[in-house]
């Protein structure tokens, strides 16, 4: 116990002294969160990244070439510190909070990046990251590009006269669909894509009963490419799905989860793709930015 007391004293003394600040040129960034990593790559800062979390699936080279510090919510303080970082960019939900606090105490600048799933939220994320990296021009350029993408999206959306009624199915465990209601990222994406959410009466991710599914009467089903029971199964083989209008046209849209729900720089394009898939006869093909 004398040992630990001494350690406590030594530790607190150390905290007061702090770490010498590093030169900006030798910046070592640990990026936590798929959208954050994506933005860093788009801003051309990938050389400065030393570590990413396991949700940083895009671009694929991130997890291939950078150290993996584990799941976004289960970070280890020493694991992150072993990379000797100077900056940690943490998306919303990164944790546990005590690990982040320890990393901060070790003299690493920890910046929490806001996570609101909306066009304004994406712009805010880019702005915060560009500001902390001190590259305002690149940030402004990326923001312009993103805003342009959303503007084009809005134009395309205005051309839609009959919005598709879509149901977003996150998983299909045991034939029970878990669907995205109001307030979910899925709801936000459907809105961006000019579709109406067939599960708008629910709030949050909720399991939907067979009768609820038939009553929701979706024109289309959106599912994830990845995930435990993602698109591995054809939902229309299930009786409840077979009874929906979507089954008649066999309209099933399958997309990559980070692309569709990540709310990063690719979101305008993802929304255009979703729009085109949901309204094949109405929306023109998206112009690639």
Partner 1 sequence: MTDRAIGTQHLAMARDRKPLMMAVLTLLVILASGLALGSGATGVPPSRVLTILAGQSSAPAGDALIVLQVRLPRLLLGLLVGAALACSGALMQGLFRNPLADPGLVGVSAGAALAAAITIVAGDALLAPWIGPLPFSALPIGAFIGGLITTWGLYLVATRQGRTSIAVMLLAGVAFGAMSGAIIGFLAYLSDDRQLRDLSFWSLGSLSGATWTKVAAATPLILPVLLLTPFLARGLNALALGEAEAFHLGVPVQRVKAVAIMLVAVAVGASVACAGMIGFVGIVVPHVLRLTAGPDHRMLLPGSALLGAALLVSADTVARTVAAPAELPIGILTAAFGAPFFLWLLLRRQGGIAL
Whose Cβ is closer to partner 1: residue 142's or residue 224's?
A: 224
Give CA torsion, residues 154, 159, 179, 257, to 10 deg: -50
Report which of 180, 261, 252 is spatially closest to residue 220, judged by C-alpha positions. Answer: 252
Whose Cβ is closer to partner 1: residue 52's or residue 274's?
A: 52
Phi/psi-derived region of residue 212, left when phi > 0, alpha when psi is between -120 and 50, beta in every other case: alpha
Q: Closest approach of Cβ 263 to partner 1, in Å? A: 13
Whose Cβ is closer to partner 1: residue 106's or residue 246's?
A: 106
Whose Cβ is closer to partner 1: residue 78's or residue 248's?
A: 78
Q: Closest approach of Cβ 87 to partner 1, in Å? A: 16
Q: Closest approach of Cβ 15 to partner 1, in Å? A: 8
Q: Closest approach of Cβ 148 to partner 1, in Å? A: 29
Q: How far apart are CA 109 and CA 122, in angstroms?
A: 22
The radius of gyration of the chain from alpha carbons, rounded to an integer in Å, stands at: 22
Whose Cβ is closer to partner 1: residue 96's or residue 136's?
A: 96
Q: How far apart are CA 264 and CA 119, in angstroms?
A: 9
Residues that bind partner 1 (CB under 8 A): 3-4, 6-8, 10-11, 14-15, 17, 19, 51, 54, 67-71, 73-84, 92-93, 95-99, 101-102, 105-107, 183-184, 204-206
Q: How far apart are CA 179 and CA 36, in angstroms?
A: 26
């Amino acid at each position: 116990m004398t040992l630990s007391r001494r350690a406590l004293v030594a530790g607190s003394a150390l905290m007061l002294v702090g770490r010498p600040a590093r030169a900006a040129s030798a910046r070592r960034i640990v990026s936590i969160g798929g959208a954050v990593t994506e933005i860093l790559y788009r801003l051309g800062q990938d050389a400065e990244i030393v570590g990413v979390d396991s949700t940083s699936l895009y671009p694929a080279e991130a997890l291939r070439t950078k150290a993996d510090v584990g799941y976004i919510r289960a970070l280890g303080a020493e694991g992150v510190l072993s990379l000797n970082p100077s900056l940690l960019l943490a998306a919303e939900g990164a944790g546990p909070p005590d690990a982040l606090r320890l990393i901060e105490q070790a003299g690493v600048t920890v910046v929490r990046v806001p996570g609101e799933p909306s066009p304004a939220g994406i712009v805010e994320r880019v702005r915060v990251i560009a500001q902390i990296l001190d590259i305002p021009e690149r940030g402004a350029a990326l923001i312009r590009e993103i805003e342009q993408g959303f503007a084009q999206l809005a134009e395309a959306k205005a051309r839609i006269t009959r919005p598709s009624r879509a149901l977003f199915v996150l998983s299909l465990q045991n034939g029970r669909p878990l669907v995205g209601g109001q307030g979910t990222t899925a709801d936000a994406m459907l809105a961006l894509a000019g579709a109406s959410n067939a599960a708008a009466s629910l709030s949050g991710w909720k399991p939907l009963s067979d009768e609820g599914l038939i009553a929701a009467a979706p024109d289309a089903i959106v599912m994830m490419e990845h995930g435990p029971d993602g698109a591995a199964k054809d939902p229309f083989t299930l009786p409840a799905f077979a009874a929906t209008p979507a089954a008649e046209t066999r309209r099933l849209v399958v997309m990559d989860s980070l692309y569709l729900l990540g709310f990063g720089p690719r979101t305008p394009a993802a929304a255009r793709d979703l729009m085109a898939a949901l309204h094949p006869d109405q929306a023109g093909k998206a112009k690639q930015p």
